[in-house]
Structure formats: structure tokens, C-alpha cells
């Protein structure tokens, strides 16, 4: 199943991270319109493709013998990161955005905009670090045969 489209695994991974940055940029101005659905599909694709791509990259970098333990550490780090970035941080920022006279409810985009900016900055930093990492290791690990095929 050979096709003319060949992308190296780490380059594909960096493009997935860039896709997450784009999806967060689409989420920022959306008011529950078409852009919201497009951004959710784009971020879901990028996040799901991360879990498909990461075992191959781990095998390339660390070999078959260590991939099980490193993959479990990767899963635990995602669990810890999601707990902080998707649960604790948004709730703290939401509570800080509640006006004092409205009780416990916050209305409008200003309630979550700080969370989106923080996520955007984190994704940009990770994308830049991954791009730097790709440039650093591409000469050592990648040859013509180490590419994934895309239809």
C-alpha cells in the first residue's frame, strides 16, 4: 500500500500539535456556531492521532524493549496534565471571573477566555519544543525507510 505521500513520524506529530493550536484559535472567538463544531472535530482528531502516533515515535527513540514502561509514563503524565489543565485550572479561573454581585454564576466569554489563552500558550510552547526536537533528532533517526504512508 504505497502512496506518493510520505511524512516522517515526528513531523506528523509536530503537525498534530499545530492542529491543536489551530483548533484552540478557532475556539476563542466562537459563540456556539459552526466554528465550535469544526474546532471540536479538529482537536478530537489531533488528540486521537496523538495516541496512535506516540507508540511509533517511542519505539523509534527508545526501542521495543522499553516502550511499555515509557508508554505507561506517557499515559500517567497525560492523566496528571489533564487533571490540572482541564479540571483544576478552569475552575479556579472561572471562580475568579465571577462578579461579586452575581452569586456563583458567571455569564459570557470572559469566564473562560483566560483558560483558552493559557491553553493556547502551552500548545504553542509544546509545538515549538517539538519542532526543535524534530530538527535535533531527524539526522540521527530518520532515513528514507522510516516514514509513514498516508493515503
Q: What is the pLDDT of residues 15-50, one digit of tens each?
A: 888 888 888 888 776 666 778 888 888 888 988 888
Looking at residue 142, its pLDDT comes to 57
Query: Do 44 and 35 meet the contact criterion of CB atoms below 8 Å apart?
Result: no
- pLDDT tens-digit profile, the chain (151 residues): 333 456 677 778 888 888 888 888 887 766 667 788 888 888 889 888 888 888 887 887 777 888 888 888 888 888 898 889 888 998 898 888 888 887 778 887 788 888 888 988 988 898 888 888 877 776 666 554 445 555 4
Looking at residue 147, its pLDDT comes to 52
| SS3 track for the chain | CCCCCEEEHHHHHHHHHHHHHHHHHHHCCCCCCHHHHHHHHHHHHHHHHHHHHHHHHHHHHHCCCCHHHHHHHHHHHHHHHHHHHHHHHHHHHHHHHCCCCCCCCCCCHHHCHHHHHHHHHHHHHHHHHHHHHHHHHHHHHCCCCCEEECC
Query: Do 41 and 64 meet the contact criterion of CB atoms below 8 Å apart?
Result: no
Looking at residue 150, its pLDDT comes to 52
pTM of the model as a whole: 0.71
By residue count, the chain amounts to 151
Cell numbers linked to 6: 510520505
Looking at residue 136, its pLDDT comes to 77
Paired strand residues for 7: 148
Paired strand residues for 8: 147
Amino acid at each position: 500500500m504505497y502512496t506518493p505521500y510520505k511524512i516522517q513520524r515526528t513531523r506528523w506529530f509536530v503537525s498534530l500539535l499545530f492542529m491543536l493550536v489551530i483548533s484552540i484559535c478557532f475556539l476563542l472567538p466562537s459563540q456556539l456556531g459552526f466554528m465550535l463544531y469544526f474546532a471540536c472535530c479538529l482537536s478530537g482528531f489531533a488528540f486521537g492521532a496523538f495516541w496512535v502516533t506516540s507508540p511509533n515515535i517511542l519505539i523509534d527513540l527508545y526501542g521495543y524493549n522499553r516502550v511499555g514502561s515509557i508508554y505507561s509514563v506517557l499515559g500517567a503524565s497525560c492523566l496528571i496534565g489533564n487533571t490540572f489543565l482541564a479540571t483544576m485550572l478552569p475552575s479556579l479561573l472561572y471562580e475568579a471571573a465571577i462578579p461579586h454581585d452575581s452569586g456563583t454564576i458567571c455569564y459570557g466569554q470572559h469566564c473562560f477566555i483566560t483558560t483558552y489563552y493559557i491553553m493556547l500558550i502551552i500548545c504553542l510552547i509544546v509545538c515549538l519544543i517539538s519542532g526543535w526536537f524534530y530538527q535535533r533528532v531527524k539526522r540521527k533517526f530518520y532515513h528514507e525507510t522510516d516514514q509513514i504512508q498516508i493515503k
